[in-house]
Amino acid sequence: MTIQFSVLLPFIVAAFIPFLYRRFSKFHIGWVVLAVPVLLFTLLATYIPRIANGKTFVKTYEWIPSFGINITTYLDGLSMIFSLLITGVGSLVILYSIFYLSTKESLHHFYCYLLLFMGAMLGVVFSDNLIVLYAFWELTSVSSFLLIAFWHHRKASRAGARKAMTITVSGGVAMLAGFLMLYAASGTFSIREILASVEVVQKSTLFIPAMVLVLLGAFTKSAQFPFHIWLPDAMEAPTPVSAYLHSATMVKAGIYLVARTTPIFGGHEMWFWAVSGIGLVTLFWGSFNAVRQFDLKALLAYSTVSQLGLIMCLFGLGSAALHLGYSTESVIYTQATFAALFHLINHSTFKGALFMMVGIVDHEVGTRDIRRLGGLMALMPFTFTIAVIGSFSMAGLPPFNGFLSKEMFFAATVAIGNLDIFALDSFALVFPIVAWLASIFTFIYSVIIVARTFLGDVKPERLENPPHEAPFGMLISPFILISLVVGIFLFPNVLGHYILQPAMASIYPGFPSSSQLTPHISAWHGINTELLMTLGVVVVGVILYKTLKKWRPLYQLFPQRYSFNAYYERIIGFSEKFSGTLTRRYMNGNITYYFIYIFLFFVAIVVGYSFMTDVFTWDPSNDASVASYELILVFVMIFAAVALLFAKARITAVLLNGVLGYSVAFFFVIFRAPDLALTQLVVESVTTALFLLSFKFLPDLRPERASKMIRLIKATISISVGATVTVVGLAVLNYDKFKPISAYFEDSYNLAGGKNIVNTILGDFRAFDTMLEVVVLFIAGLGVYTLIKLKAKKGDADVEN
């Protein structure tokens, strides 16, 4: 029950935020919101011992059982790690944001979006059903869009939000297609059931396409090369959001997906190369780009891109073990996956702390540009401590947790060379070399963060505000994170046993003993290749940092014009212009044209379809005879319809239209459809009243002064529409291609407890339609209201920037 509760709670609290906010406007609403992740984290933490003992928790609620779509929550080692990160880092971020954001901001929006996001992320990691997972997945995209665009008066915020949304949502749609292929191959949407029949899926022809599409979803979400371009722009969000979305949670959804689907796809050569290869490229490209940034936040963004690549690469390397099957030698490769999970946690701790550190600098000093910063060490000693520990952990130096996982990463890249599968014998050397190069860049930018911000001379004339230490409250969260950085270094095996080991069991379900998959992590592992590589990183890194000025031109060699970002901008610019032109072409504001489009499509499709099939058969022999009063009604209707064409005044037209409507109601009465007759009568009355109300706003009818040709065309269209409808109406009577479903509804009293078939259909059998119709009606009503009431007042200030 806790699991469902933890997904629901953020949404429920989010719904109440606006009311609370209005009631206590002086009070910082963040304190209320803080209770949510703290509570959830505590609740989830109580599951740790049971999860560590290999238990899993499953609970299913039926949603659309006929399609196999059920709300199934699943808690195992893997979802445990992620849910703890989401709620744990979430608590710290919210605590931090309470001091970061003043009550002058529209906090109710901010925390509403943040809770939506948190709930959606928890939904992603707890869903066992692929469709439900997809729904939550897209909800994270939408809520992060709202969060990135929180300061929506800034153009860059809006552009960044749109970029993130465009890229992650298109990846998400690809992923949905992949999920549907998995469904086609396995016959189920449940991940656990797919895992149970994984051999069937692997033999399917849809296996490779499904893999590619699912990877697209994961890569776009986790900002892997070449989709990484959205992440730096997403830094327009307030810093707490960056710390949360872009260090701990949203970007890790892609990692989660890869980890979760590794048992399905892992072991295949393509999966191995795609995941580890793209990861490696991202690692290198991200770290290379980070070095040339001047904005601290952009630097951290590229560093996140690169670290995500590292984790992704490790998952790819680890998937090789699934190809080999369980043996003592494949255990070496499972250590790559172990390192991936380990680094995942480490990255969240040090990167979260670093983002908060940058936020503090920005908040207290007023700038994040390293060209203007410097010498803050003496003025902001606590912030300096955070920066040093966070950066050195990121650079992979002891005694911080980043060192441990970095060593394991080096070990894995070296170990992969011993494999002789997947053509690795010729390419294996690429992994350690690129990893080593990327680590040098990582080292350089880590040093840049510390040195350029805190060492050297203060340049007070370049700063917006006089520098001083941050308030105590803002320092709590990053301090907790950096104490974790050190704590994990000192006691890594506690984490390994309780948190990482159960997750290993989720990724390698077929492997017998999970304790063998858990290596003993030790800080001192002898003088071996990894350690020498780290020493090399430090030595070369220091040299390169000292001579950084000389290398600067090298970074500018790559022309901006050919970057993926430039391509993105060009595509967006072109499609905006194209769709603008196209829309202006057909949306010319003349309602006659809109009707012509609709009618032409209608006639073309219906008549076209009728030519391809033989649906239009008219056989009057079975029809009932036409009574005289029916004929009278028909003549009344014909008269009204024809008179309508020649009406000179608008009121005549309205009334004649009413005659038509009421006559139809009479027909319903004659044909014993009292429900329809009632509805028709009332609707007709209400619409006539509406017409009369808006009457005085409408101009007089003017005789149409169109050329003969145009009038002829319009007449042809009208007549063909009328003819089509008539023919369809007649043909329906003889349509018996399918068995009529009316027999099913006749049993309404037993099935739904109502004697009125129409009503049971509306309320029971097809209540889904009714529900959505109600929503549509409501939205239409709101549309009318906003169009009329909320017209932009003249002289309103331009909101655009």
770 binds another protein (CB under 8 A): yes
Residue number, 690 or 710, with CB nearest to another protein: 690
**97 CB-near residues (< 8 Å, 6+ apart):** 30, 110, 114, 238, 240
Separation of alpha carbons 33 and 28, rounded Å: 10
Residue number, 153 or 766, with CB nearest to another protein: 766
Measured between alpha carbons, how far is residue 762 from residues 67, 665, 759 in Å? 21, 20, 5
**123 CB-near residues (< 8 Å, 6+ apart):** 7, 132, 133, 135, 136, 139
Among 789, 795, 796, 798, binds another protein (CB under 8 A): 789
135 binds another protein (CB under 8 A): no
Among 61, 601, 629, 639, binds another protein (CB under 8 A): 61
Among 777, 792, 794, 798, binds another protein (CB under 8 A): 777
Residue number, 64 or 582, with CB nearest to another protein: 64
733 binds another protein (CB under 8 A): no
Q: Is the dihedral of CA 106, 110, 113, 115 positive or negative?
A: negative
Separation of alpha carbons 370 and 459, rounded Å: 11
363-392: contacts with another protein (CB under 8 A): none
Separation of alpha carbons 190 and 199, rounded Å: 15
756 binds another protein (CB under 8 A): yes
What's the CA dihedral at 496, 501, 506, 511 to 10 degrees?
130
Least gap, CB of 671 to another protein (angstroms): 14
How many residues are listed for the chain in this entry?
A: 801
Residue 489 contacts residue 400 (beta carbons within 8 Å)? yes
Among 559, 699, 703, 753, binds another protein (CB under 8 A): 753
746 binds another protein (CB under 8 A): no
Separation of alpha carbons 481 and 489, rounded Å: 13
A 10 A CB-CB count for 494 gives 12
Residue 163 contacts residue 568 (beta carbons within 8 Å)? yes
A 10 A CB-CB count for 712 gives 11
Least gap, CB of 295 to another protein (angstroms): 43
Residue 411 contacts residue 530 (beta carbons within 8 Å)? yes
Measured between alpha carbons, how far is residue 382 from residues 227, 433, 483, 518 in Å? 36, 37, 13, 36
From 174-182, 373-381, 502-510, 776-784, span contacting another protein (CB under 8 A): 776-784
Residue number, 543 or 774, with CB nearest to another protein: 774
62 binds another protein (CB under 8 A): yes
Among 586, 611, 697, 738, binds another protein (CB under 8 A): 697
Among 46, 700, 768, 792, binds another protein (CB under 8 A): 768
Separation of alpha carbons 213 and 281, rounded Å: 19
709 binds another protein (CB under 8 A): no
Least gap, CB of 681 to another protein (angstroms): 9
Measured between alpha carbons, how far is residue 293 from residues 151, 246, 374, 376, 449 in Å? 23, 17, 16, 19, 10
Least gap, CB of 130 to another protein (angstroms): 18
Number of residues lying near another protein (CB under 8 A): 45
Residue number, 156 or 683, with CB nearest to another protein: 683
Residue 257 contacts residue 342 (beta carbons within 8 Å)? no
Least gap, CB of 183 to another protein (angstroms): 19
Residue number, 693 or 797, with CB nearest to another protein: 693
655 binds another protein (CB under 8 A): no
Sketch the per residue contact string, 589 through 628, with another protein: x for CB under 8 A, - otherwise: ----------------------------------------
Strands 69-75 and 57-64: antiparallel
Residue number, 22 or 104, with CB nearest to another protein: 22
Residue number, 523 or 784, with CB nearest to another protein: 784
Among candidates 346, 272, 356, which has minimal Cα distance to 316?
A: 272
64 binds another protein (CB under 8 A): yes
Amino acid, single-letter form, for residue 65: P
Backbone angles phi, psi at 354, to 5 degrees: -65, -40
From 156-164, 241-249, 645-653, 778-786, span contacting another protein (CB under 8 A): 778-786
Among 549, 702, 755, 793, binds another protein (CB under 8 A): 755
From 56-64, 108-116, 436-444, 703-711, span contacting another protein (CB under 8 A): 56-64
Helix residue ranges, H only, 366-471: 381-395, 401-415, 424-427, 430-454
671-690: contacts with another protein (CB under 8 A): 674-675, 678-679, 682-683, 685-686, 689-690
Full 3-state SS string of 240-251? HHHHHHHHHCHH
Binding region for another protein (CB under 8 A) = 61-65, 71, 674-675, 678-679, 682-683, 685-686, 689-690, 693-694, 697, 752-756, 758-760, 762-764, 767-768, 770-771, 774-775, 777-778, 780-782, 784-785, 788-789
